Amino acid sequence: MSVAPETFRNNLFPEINATLEFRGLTYVFFEQFSLPTAEQLDLIQSTLPGWSLITWGWWNDDADIEDQDIEGITEEGDSFEDFSEENQTVALTTFGLNAEGLPLGDRQLQPIDTAAELEQIFPEGDNWGLVAISCPNWRTVSACEWRGCMNVAEPDEMALTLKKWQDNWGIEALAFGGEEDDADLLVRIPAEHEANLEMYSALRVAADQVTIFKDDNLGQLANLWFD
């Protein structure tokens, strides 16, 4: 039986609903149906390296953890052994980026929209729930088999692209859906890169739509939508 790390008993976190194992990873489901807070993220980064917090569109207060839906979403076919440097280069090319994670120059940059409120890029309380996973943040899209970009790439290719963005600019995934038509990926941008035009160019090439919002708690957020 899986046991959640003691850090998750901290008063920054709500009650734990369930702790489960899938493909060698541990998933901890919380009774929190909103984005992780900056304080929660900071605590995990400082005390539990190798763990990540993600708000997943599959998990919500009506979900039955014991049913087989999770197993259906986190497919057995996904392989973490495919996360190689060679495969990363292929993945980046799929998104119109070079080996450095920058635009190849053969794809048009999409405009950046600005949201007036968080609700425009994250429908809080609508089929979303907080999950901790025992993997680096960039791997969460693959650990949860997120297929919102399936018309462009596979979950592992999105993960490898996120890894490059994290290495370059510290971008981290915050939320994504649990169904194939949930094509929105919400990411957090560190304060030191809020005005980084090179970074925004990469996002504008990879995604079909980019919408940004400055949150009082989490800072600069960007919603990436894939057609």
Laid out side by side, the sheet with 172-176 consists of 16-22, 25-30, 129-133, 52-56, 172-176, 184-189, 219-225, 209-215, 112-114
pLDDT-derived band at 76, boundaries 50, 70, 90: very low
Place of tokens 């009650």: 15
Which tens digit of pLDDT belongs to each residue from 173-211? 999 986 656 889 999 999 999 999 999 999 999 999 999
Full-model pTM: 0.90
Mean pLDDT of the 40-63 span:
90
- What percentage of the chain reaches a pLDDT higher than 90? 65
What local confidence, expressed as pLDDT, does residue 23 receive?
Answer: 76
Angle separating helix axes 197-206 and 155-169, nearest 10 degrees: 170
> Looking at the predicted structure, is the pLDDT value of residue 42 above 50?
yes
Q: How far apart are CA 66 and CA 77, in angstroms?
A: 21
What local confidence, expressed as pLDDT, does residue 68 receive?
Answer: 40
Mean pLDDT of the 2-28 span:
91
Residue, of 223 and 122, whose pLDDT is higher: 223
Q: Are 130 and 34 in contact (CB under 8 A)?
A: yes
Which tens digit of pLDDT belongs to each residue from 123-179? 766 678 999 999 999 999 999 888 888 888 888 999 999 999 999 999 999 999 866
Angle separating helix axes 85-94 and 155-169, nearest 10 degrees: 100
> Looking at the predicted structure, is the pLDDT value of residue 82 above 70?
no
Q: In terms of DSSP bridges, do strands 112-114 and 16-22 run parallel, antiparallel, or are they unpaired?
A: unpaired
- What percentage of the chain reaches a pLDDT higher than 70? 85
